[in-house]
Amino acid sequence: MKILSVNAGSSSLKFTLFDMNDETVISSGNFERIGIDGSSYYIKYNGEKISEEIELNNHTDAVNALLEKLVALEIIKSLDEIDGIGHRVVSGGNVYSESVLVTDEVIKNIEELKEFAPLHNPAHLLGINAFREVLPNVPMVCVFDTAFHQSMDEVNYLYPVPYKWYEDYAVRKYGAHGTSHRYIADCVKNLLGRDDFKLISCHIGNGGSITAIKDMKCVDTSMGFTPLAGIMMGTRSGDIDPSIIPYIMEKEGMNASEVIDALNRKSGVLGLSEYSSDMRDLVSKCDEGDHKAIVAKDKYVRRVVDYIAQYYVLLEGVDVIVFTAGVGENNIPIRREICEKLSCLGVKIDLDLNNKRGETVKISSDDSKIDVYVIPTDEELMIARDTLKLI
């Protein structure tokens, strides 16, 4: 059984082809700069990577090129080998609490929910519609980033704003990275051999979110109405005083959209350090004694620790903390500093184990009151699993 996991962006189409008999990756790649000069692709398979420039006027061109290459490179013998296609969709709003088969109604709903993810949902639809056009008889599934968070209680997902805003405009917390957090919960279930545990999942990369999970269900999460809320990120501010927005509009002569764009693209680690949004660059700059870099790094650590501490209290104790995504899986000093600041909760890590990168490993010491793991996330596999289940 072969399943294609797809993540379509406004000018890109990422894919992973799985053999679901043993959940191995057959091939993966990305078609880039779709509709832009200089479009190209790369495909990985059998330990090799091929790439070339190719004219891609739209997503249908990219889908056709992808399928043609899969056959031409003998990754598959024919398109009949593709049994299902799973699509990542950022926002399912409060409409979808689980993955669903693609239908005309689902496509209509994703279109109507685009204002909750204006940079993402329209792009996902481009990919879905392109595959429907080229492979109309292959079943497809939508896997929503927001679905996992639909188990939150209204005390946690409602904002302290006029209730009418929720009733009329669906203003509430939706969260993001839900597919990743659900994957991490599944991994912890397998590691512990049970599903009755309290988990804090830290998906920290260029974007980041912290999620409190109890008995495999989301209790609360740091991202909010949009992915701008929560912890400080690579270029996103995370939580700030909303009064800053009209203040800066007046001072800088900016409109609301321009300020929000600055909070999304020019803030966070990049904004404070005035150097880089990449945590690897920031740590190197800190080693040189750069003051702004040190402040940005310390602020980043503090915001992550704040949410972990908040969720420790919410869950009334924690069994497991997991670090995942780019920073969580690979940045040794950031993990160490976060854990050191959690020592009052009984967290202790083994410094030698913490030196590992990009693999599943328990980094807490034997006398730690909370187990701490590093687990590489695999959202593409989660999409493939849901697709297999539904088809």
Residues with active-site annotation: 145
> How far is residue 264's CA from residue 267's CA, in Å, rounded to a whole number?
6
* 61, 39 Cβ separation under 8 angstroms: no
Cα distances (Å, whole numbers) of residue 153 to 158, 169, 202: 9, 19, 20
Cα distances (Å, whole numbers) of residue 109 to 7, 61, 173, 313, 317: 18, 25, 19, 37, 38
> How far is residue 350's CA from residue 342's CA, in Å, rounded to a whole number?
14
* 140, 5 Cβ separation under 8 angstroms: no
Calculate ∠ Cα 162-113-378, nearest 5°: 110
- Of 320, 327, 321, which Cα lies nearest the Cα of 358? 327
* 345, 369 Cβ separation under 8 angstroms: yes
* 198, 314 Cβ separation under 8 angstroms: no
Residue 382: its H or E element: helix 379-390
Residue 32: its H or E element: strand 24-32
> How far is residue 39's CA from residue 36's CA, in Å, rounded to a whole number?
6
> How far is residue 387's CA from residue 391's CA, in Å, rounded to a whole number?
6
Provide the token pair at 92.
């399912």
Length of the chain: 391
3-state secondary structure of 355: coil
* 118, 39 Cβ separation under 8 angstroms: no
Residue 184: burial class (beta carbons within 10 Å; 0-12, 13-18, 19+): buried
